[in-house]
């Protein structure tokens, strides 16, 4: 064992919505650190695709079909994982969606859908795993927050409301269950290259960069989009014993966006 213990050997980690994208990268990092990886996705075809990707990466992951907004399905999946794999030591609430619609044009139904996946689901999934974590003597919950946990922008009212709420759910879980050796922290990724942000990076018909792409490069002191790999170290840190006295914290992994006022004229 190293002086600083980043090992996840012997731990079971459930990463929600991790067939690809940020969740998949975090799962890869957890497997590299020694954890047994479990993921879910909304349908069998997504799970099958995910399983193929894990096989390709030589990771013996277990995949479950489960819609994280469906409380009954989540409870059943949590019980199955515990029986078939083991008590969940690490939960990453990663599954998420975004709808980019100006607020006055957005239906209440669309707003609710985003809140359901991005805020209600982390509540439902965390609630399903906390009792066993308490019985086992502790656990780690990591909520994938966003720049929109701190900032607003045009067209993302529901997403910002959900991710701001997720930041406070994180602090509340830490407050309520910290005494049971449960650490609940958040990761706030900056702008990361995944399918979720692909429409913001599409090349224009003349081959030039998307205006939003240029905007993000200018807004990020690192002058680039993040990669899913940028999230691996922070995710392992927050899942490991190295972070045992960190609770209710949101670790922003944003290339400096939140520190920067923007380019001076």
Residues forming the active site: 159
How far out from the chain centre does Cα 102 lie? 25
Distance CA 232, CA 25 (A): 7
Q: Which of 77/220 has CB closer to ligand GCO?
A: 220
Going residue by residue from 51 to 80, which x/- string records binding to ligand GCO, judged by CB under 6 A? ------------------------------
Residue bearing tokens 């005494």: 179
Distance CA 219, CA 36 (A): 37
Rounded to a whole number of angstroms, the minimum distance from the CB of residue 225 to ligand GCO is 10
Chosen from ligand NAP, ligand GCO, none, partner binding at 153 (C-beta under 5 to 8 Å by type): ligand GCO
Rounded to a whole number of angstroms, the minimum distance from the CB of residue 211 to ligand GCO is 13
Rounded to a whole number of angstroms, the minimum distance from the CB of residue 233 to ligand NAP is 16
Binding residue (CB under 6 A) for ligand NAP from 19, 183, 240, 247: 19
Angle at 95 between CA 143 and CA 13, to 5 degrees: 65
Binders in 146-185 for ligand NAP, by CB under 6 A: 146
Distance CA 203, CA 213 (A): 9
Q: Which of 44/214 has CB closer to ligand GCO?
A: 214
How far is CA 244 from each of CA 132, 140, 184, rounded to the nearest angstrom?
Answer: 18, 9, 10
Distance CA 81, CA 64 (A): 9
Binders in 145-174 for ligand GCO, by CB under 6 A: 146-148, 153, 156, 159
Quick check: 220 binds ligand NAP (CB under 6 A)? no
Chosen from ligand GCO, ligand NAP, none, partner binding at 119 (C-beta under 5 to 8 Å by type): none
Spell out the SS3 assignment of 14-67.
EEECCCCHHHHHHHHHHHHCCCEEEEEECCHHHHHHHHHHHHHCCCCCEEEECC
CB-based contacts of 43, cutoff 8 Å, min separation 6:
65
Q: Which of 67/213 has CB closer to ligand NAP?
A: 67
Which residues make up the interface to ligand NAP (CB under 6 A)? 16-17, 19-23, 40-42, 46, 67-69, 94-97, 117, 144, 146, 189, 191-192, 194-197
Which residues make up the interface to ligand GCO (CB under 6 A)? 98, 100, 146-148, 153, 156, 159, 189-191, 196-197
């Amino acid at each position: 064992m190293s002086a600083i213990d980043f090992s996840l050997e012997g731990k079971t980690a459930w990463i929600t919505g991790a067939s690809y994208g940020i969740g998949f990268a975090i799962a890869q990092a957890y497997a590299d650190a020694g954890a047994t990886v479990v993921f879910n996705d909304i349908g069998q075809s997504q799970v099958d695709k995910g399983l193929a990707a894990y096989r390709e990466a030589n990771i013996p992951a277990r995949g479950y079909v489960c819609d994280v907004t469906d409380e009954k399905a989540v409870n059943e999946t949590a019980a199955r994982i515990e029986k078939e794999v083991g008590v969940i030591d690490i939960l990453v609430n990663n599954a998420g969606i975004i709808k980019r619609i100006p607020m006055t044009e957005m239906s209440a139904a669309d707003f609710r859908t985003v809140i359901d996946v991005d805020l209600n689901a982390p509540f439902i999934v965390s609630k399903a795993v906390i009792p066993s974590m308490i019985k086992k003597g502790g656990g780690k919950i990591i909520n994938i927050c966003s720049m929109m946990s701190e900032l607003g922008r045009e067209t993302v009212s529901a997403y910002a409301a959900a991710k701001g709420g997720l930041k406070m759910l994180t602090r509340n879980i830490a407050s309520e269950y910290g005494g049971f050796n449960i650490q609940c922290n958040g990761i706030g990724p900056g702008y990361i290259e995944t399918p979720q942000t692909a429409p913001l990076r599409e090349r224009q018909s003349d081959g030039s960069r998307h205006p939003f792409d240029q905007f993000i490069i200018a807004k990020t002191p690192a002058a680039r989009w993040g990669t899913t790999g940028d999230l691996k170290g922070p995710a392992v840190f927050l899942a490991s014993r190295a972070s045992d006295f960190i609770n209710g914290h949101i670790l922003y992994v944003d290339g400096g966006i939140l520190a920067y006022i923007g380019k001076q004229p």
